[in-house]
Amino acid sequence: MKKSLARGKLLLNMQMSPLDYNQGVELLRLICDLEDAKRGDVVVMLTHRFDMMPDPTIRAMVMEKFEHVVTHVTTRKASGWPAGPNAMMGDSFMAAINLQRKGLHIDAVMFMECDCVPLAKDWIDQIKAEWEQCREAGKYVLEWGEYSRYTYE
């Protein structure tokens, strides 16, 4: 029996480096402004490059609209393209896996960079609905703990 995304959470991972931090903060403001009420079905992970420290005021701003906000500082010390973004992605994925192992039920992960701008007020609900449709059809799904099972179409 497949788990419904309604029972788990969508993890939105916002990755930021010193070069795009200000743009990332503005994007987070927009994402928060789009939400009418506080969401409990989404985890926001604020991922910072290894040479940055999380700003508690940004986390507090995001917590006004999202019940679950996690900050993460990468441990992989790479910078420049493509090594820097790839290291952040890999480190972020491992952090998401560790959240799952600690008991936070996550059904889907969306990795965002600072130029990933929502174009609809209900964009999170649209993404969750699309994920559920793909999952039910067996398309492009990676189940937690089953790293070798991919289906592509």
Chain-wide mean pLDDT for the chain?
84
Strand order in the sheet with 39-48: 66-73, 39-48, 9-16, 106-112
Q: Residue 91: what residue type?
A: D
Q: Where are the alpha helices (DSSP H) in the chain?
A: 21-34, 56-63, 83-101, 123-137
Find the mean pLDDT for residues 72-91: 90
Q: Which of 46, 41, 42, 40 is nearest to 61 (CA)?
A: 46
Q: How far is Cα 59 from Cα 62, in angstroms, rounded to an integer?
A: 5
Q: Does residue 29 have a pLDDT over 80?
A: yes
pTM: 0.84
Q: What is the pLDDT of residues 139-148, one digit of tens each?
A: 655 544 444 3
Q: Are 87 and 74 in contact (CB under 8 A)?
A: yes
For residues 29 and 118, is the Cβ–Cβ distance under 8 A? Answer: no
